[in-house]
Amino acid sequence: MAARILITREEQPGERPLAADMGLDVVYAPLLRLTLDAGRSTAPPRAMHHALTSRNAVEALRAADLLHHLEGSEIWCVGPATAAALGGIPHHVSPGTTGEDLARFMLESGVKGDVIHICGEPRRPELKQVLEAGGCRVTEWVVYRSEPVVADLPEGEIHAVAFFSPSAVRQFKALGWDARYSGPYIAIGPTTAEELKPSSCGVSSEASFRGVLITTRIILHEQI
């Protein structure tokens, strides 16, 4: 029988077949509801550099037909999922997995002046802090919001739980699911793993759904 993995965010196209090919059965229980706000927000003045730390930010711009706002600028992003969402739009991808990694990559690449961070709410402060410490001026353009969802733990045996954001971890704990299921937990990156403390977890070496599944397989295999 395939190991049953709880995915704590909304399903994306192609994920179930990918999981099945790896011998995993995925069960979805989204802990956050995304509201895309790009169409209702006021775009800031154009800048030479745009920073993207989430695929959701790209999708919010696309839904509001605002991807053209990126034209003529250098685009910097973190993670293969965010890069893939940009499609054919030229961009630079950080070799790291966090907003702080992206900020350091940008500074090391010579970024100066105005930077627009296209982001969601809530968001982590590290990218802005590191860039501003390096002399950049950062404007945060909030284009989506994550709201907690009240739900119940799906029935049936769960062999592992996968997390894709710190906000999902906080909602998991707020619902008391951590008392009902102690793991193993798998985090898409180090910032999400940090939110899981003091619980131990596996951290995906690649900030993608595929990377999370590979890490899950390794951890479950080690427990056999």
Q: pLDDT (tens digit, 9 = 90+) per residue, 61-116?
A: 998 899 988 989 999 999 888 998 998 899 999 998 889 999 999 999 999 999 99
- The full set of domain ranges for the chain reads 3-30+156-223, 34-146
pLDDT at residue 41 is higher than 80: no
The whole-chain average pLDDT of the chain stands at 91
Among 16-30, 60-74, 130-144, which stretch is predicted with the lowest mean pLDDT? 60-74
What CATH number belongs to 34-146?
3.40.50.10090
Amino acid 99: pLDDT: 93
pLDDT greater than 90 at residue 1: no
Q: Do domains 3-30+156-223 and 34-146 have the same CATH topology?
A: yes
Dihedral sign, CA of 169, 174, 177, 181? Answer: positive
Residue 223's pLDDT is what?
64
Closest CA to 74 of 49, 92, 95: 49
pLDDT of residue 162: 97
Q: Report the helix count and the strand count for the chain, using DSSP H and E.
A: 9, 11
What single-letter amino acid sits at 199? Answer: S
pLDDT exceeds cutoff 80 at 172? yes
pLDDT at 205: 83
State the Cα–Cα distance between residues 96 and 79, nearest whole angstrom: 8
Q: What pTM was computed for the model?
A: 0.78
Classify domain 3-30+156-223 by CATH number.
Answer: 3.40.50.10090
Contact status, residue 117 vs residue 53, Cβ threshold 8 Å: yes
Confidence bin at 204 (pLDDT 50/70/90) = very high
Res. 207 pLDDT band, cuts 50 70 90: confident
Q: How far apart are CA 142 and CA 144, in angstroms?
A: 6
Secondary structure (DSSP) of 20-61: HHTTEEEEE---EEEEE-GGGSPPPPP-SEEEE--HHHHHHH
Close Cβ partners of 138 (under 8 Å, ≥ 6 residues apart): 114, 115, 116, 117, 127, 128, 131, 132
The share of the chain scoring above pLDDT 90, in percent, equals 67
